[in-house]
Amino acid sequence: MEDFEFYTPTKVIFGKNAELQIGREIASRGYKKVLVHFGGTYLRETGEIDKIHRSLEDAGLTYVDLGGVVPNPRLSLAKEGVDLCKKEGVDFILGVGGGSAIDSSKAIAYGLVNDFPLEDLFLGKEKTDKIAPIGCITTIAATGSETSNSTVVTIETQDQGILKRSYNHDCARPLFAAMNPELTYTLPVYQTASGAADIMMHTMERYITQAKNVELSDRISEGLLVTVREAALKALTDPRDYEARANLMWAGSLSHNGLTGTGRINDFPVHKIGHELSAMFDATHGASLTATWSAWAKVVYKSNPARFARFAVKVFGVEMNFDDMEKTALAGIEAWDEWCRKIGMPTSITDLLGKTPSEAQMEEMAEKAAATGGGTIGLFHRLTKEDLVDIYKKAL
Ligand code: NZQ
Ligand code: ZN
């Protein structure tokens, strides 16, 4: 087991009506004026935004709204948010929504207390451990941004086109996360499925490593993966299945707060491959991962067939073939694709986009993904730009 630090300070307020407690949470910490930051229309249509406003008013807080966050959130809106917060004297940022709204809130919070141009943080030119206080209300079980240290944004650059980049620091873990599984009842089927796939992937990217002697982390991971595998199917069959929604939601946080990675070192190669598809084609995050995982897996599994075989047996109930470990590994990869198809997620890039990217586009994505690791990515199996082109092609 590798040495590690595990820091998850976020207070989780979980269950029915959890979102009504946020006014009290913010006021008790001494803040006065809140930016409520969210995406599109569903919060207004469901009346949820009014309840959130009331919770703030009842606690004696004032607020200003900033909607308009889109999936794969744009840094340009976060910059507008920084200006708005300065103008309005905001001292607390509340993100309401999924990973996009929460990450956009984190970006605003960075911008509010740091003097450098915000894009420099995401382009690797600046570092900081300073952020304005943030809390969140989660409305989709997916990224785990509500407890993660990560902020992922899409930047429109002059010289490199559109880039999807992240900045990771423990200071970005929200002070609290209000998580009411009932809020996820209104999710479109595609978002429920994409979120479930993302939760699986956050643990799979940590689980499929070369780390040794991590039995506890392995077993926690396997329990989480089996739970999400089953709960996703239940939530898709009955969108108002509270227990399935609750399991998905809690798994979303536990899958990306660092727990399943304790004792091993990870670098999330499939996320890097998927992020390029989201940057170039605005692909939905979870779906970009299901479209490419098995192509990646088939390229790398021979580096440690036993690891993939254990995944097959423990997560998908594949029977171990002791004479041919590679066969078991491949059966697990196929079982994953089959589960993705069952929940309606794409298992190829052509399925994902409804078209095939050009050679030049695959070259560009591979080049950019490799550059995020200084030329190669992947600790389980090192991947060069050429390997990445091969993966994009195999994923077609
Ligand atoms: O636009 P709104 O109205 O908010 O609608 C959203 C959006 O269209 C909708 N939605 C959310 N909750 C709903 C709902 N619709 C009806 N009822 C509800 N209860 O769902 C759509 C998708 O929302 P989004 O926030 O984009 O989804 P998700 O949570 O999957 O977030 C994806 C973003 O997070 C990043 C992704 O790359 C992507 O940009 N990630 C963030 C991570 C982190 N910060 O730790 C880690 C992840 O690996 C990921 O990279
Ligand atoms: Zn993810």
Please name the CATH architecture into which domain 11-183 falls.
3-Layer(aba) Sandwich (3.40)
Q: Tens digits of per-residue pLDDT, 272-285? A: 999 999 999 999 99
**For the CA of 148, the nearest atom of ligand 1:** 45
Helix (H, G, I), strand (E, B) or coil at 150: strand
Looking at the chain, the whole-number percentage of residues with pLDDT higher than 90 is 97
Residue extents of the structural domains in the chain: 11-183, 190-394
Fill in the DSSP letter of residue 383: B
Whether 235 shows a pLDDT value over 90: the answer reads yes
Q: Whose CA is nearest to atom 14 of ligand 1?
A: 187
Q: Which ligand is nearest to the CA of 289?
A: 2
Mind listing the pLDDT tens digit for each residue in 17-64? 999 999 999 999 999 999 999 997 889 999 999 999 999 999 999 999
Distance from the CA of 145 to the center of ligand 1, in angstroms? Answer: 9
Residues 262-273: pLDDT tens digits?
999 988 999 999
Q: How far is CA 260 from CA 146, 204, 217, 241, 255, in A?
A: 16, 9, 5, 26, 6
Q: Which ligand is nearest to the CA of 200?
A: 2
Q: Rounded to the nearest 10 degrees, what angle do helices 305-316 and 215-237 cross at?
A: 50
What per-residue confidence (pLDDT) applies to 391? 98
Ligand 2 midpoint to CA 120 (Å): 22
- pLDDT value at 158 more than 90: no
pLDDT at 159: 87
Q: Where residue 89 falls among pLDDT bands split at 50, 70, 90?
A: very high
Distance CA 103, CA 256 (A): 14
The per-residue pLDDT of the chain, averaged, comes to 97
Burial status of residue 82 (CB atoms within 10 A of its CB: 0-12, 13-18, 19 or more)? buried
| 205-230: average pLDDT | 97
| Over residues 351-366, mean pLDDT | 98
CATH architecture of the domain formed by 190-394: Up-down Bundle (1.20)
Percent of the chain with pLDDT over 70: 100
- CA of 141 from ligand 1 middle (Å) equals 9
Tell whether the model's pLDDT for residue 160 goes beyond 90: no
- Given this model, what pLDDT does residue 150 score? 97
Global pTM value? 0.97
Atom of ligand 1 nearest to the CA of 184: 19
The token duo for 28 is 């008790």
What per-residue confidence (pLDDT) applies to 40? 79
Minimal CA–CA distance to 179: which of 227, 225, 247?
247
User: Which contacts (CB < 8 Å, 24+ apart) does range 246-250 have?
Assistant: 246/14, 246/15, 246/181, 248/141, 248/181, 248/184, 248/192, 248/195, 248/196, 248/199, 249/14, 249/138, 249/141, 249/179, 249/181, 249/184, 250/14, 250/179
72 lines ligand 1 (CB under 6 A): yes
Quickly list H helices, 160-268.
189-207, 215-237, 242-256
Locate 355 and state its tokens.
């078209």
Q: For atom 8 of ligand 1, which residue has the closest CA?
A: 71
Q: Which of 148, 113, 131, 122 has its CA nearest to residue 12?
A: 148
